[in-house]
Amino acid sequence: MQSTTTAPAADLWDRVTGTQTAPEFWLVVATGVAALAVVLWGPAWRPARNAVTIAHEGGHGLVALVTGRKLEGIRLHSDTSGLTVSRGRPTGPGMILTALAGYTAPSLLGLGGAWLLAAGHITALLWAATALLLALLVMVRNAYGVLTVLITGGLFVAVSWLADSQVQAVFAYAAVWFLLLGGVRPVFELQSKRRRGGAPDSDADQLARLTHAPAAVWLFFFHAVALCSLIGGGGRLLGRS
């Protein structure tokens, strides 16, 4: 007979690793349209952009750790900017990959999320996102950043535990659509700022100094990753339903 202590754990494991049914096609399209509206409409984009900043700075932090750099901390600001500080060699592959990771992280996370949803792992996606946010929270070093990550993580926890399967599916698809679409706009914003002479220490400019390749090359790379992720991820989301 299965013990009462192991049964809940087994049920939880089955719930996380199991597959769930995708929402109807019109709901998948509707979540994509809603995400696009948030990205394009300024009053909605400004607060929602905090989620993109979390992914951006989290990308810097994760790659810094993976490449052997020491992550000192992450700061998220109310103007939706952010800063990730790591220690290590000021040049070399580790620093280059860390600088590359920021603008590509939201789109690549969205692409990964689209693959999970296409495989039917809706609950796994929600739990993985929660785990990543908790890991990020440990490294945040300012009050606004802590509050932003807590609110975002709390939303994922609430949906994962309290919402029914249909609501979870719609929320997961909306979140992935937002990452895919929201990963595109910041690159255009950066390009516009640089055209006006702003953002002299942007990731593209840092990469230019590290590699001696023009910043325009890295802007093109950021655009390519964002657009290819949107096309590939969007196709997976629409094909799944």
Tens digits of per-residue pLDDT, 84-124?
A: 999 999 999 999 999 999 999 999 999 999 999 999 999 99
142 Cβ contact list (under 8 Å, min separation 6):
75, 76, 77
Dist CA 15 CA 82 (whole Å): 35
pLDDT at residue 22, as a whole number: 84
In the chain, the amino acid numbered 39 is V
DSSP category for residue 41: S
Q: With CA atoms as reference, report the closest residue to 223 among 188, 195, 179, 171.
A: 188
54, two tokens: 């979390």
- Residue spans of the domains in the chain: they are 41-240
Among 4-13, 198-207, 219-228, whose mean pLDDT is lowest? 4-13
Find the helix or strand (DSSP H, E) in which 194 lies: helix 185-195
pLDDT value of position 8: 66
Q: Is the pLDDT of residue 135 over 80?
A: yes
Question: How far are the Cα atoms of 6, 73, 100 from residue 145, in angstroms, in the given order?
Answer: 37, 11, 22
Structure token pair of residue 136: 């990020």
- The 10s digit of each residue's pLDDT in 141-182 is 999 999 999 999 999 999 999 999 999 999 999 999 999 999
CB atoms within 10 A of CB 199: 17
- Tokens of residue 167, six digits: 């609501």
Q: Which whole number is the average pLDDT over 76-91?
A: 95
